[in-house]
Amino acid sequence: MVENQEYFSPGELAEYLNVSKKFIDKHIATKRLPGAVRVGRLWRFKKIDIEKRLAIGEFLLPEKV
The answer to whether position 42 is within a domain reads yes
Prediction pTM value: 0.80
pLDDT one digit per residue (tens) for the chain, 65 residues: 445 669 999 999 999 999 999 999 999 888 888 989 999 999 999 999 999 988 888 888 877 76
**Structural domain span for residue 52:** 7-56
Percent composition of the chain: helix, strand, coil (DSSP 3-state, to 5): 40, 15, 40
Number of domains in the chain: 1
> What does the alpha-carbon distance between residue 4 and residue 22 come to, in Å, rounded to a whole number?
29
The answer to whether position 65 is within a domain reads no
20 three-state secondary structure: coil
The answer for 18, left when phi > 0, alpha when psi is -120 to 50, beta otherwise, is left
Cβ burial 49-63 (10 Å sphere, 16+ → b, else e): bbeebeeeeebeeee
The answer to whether position 46 is within a domain reads yes
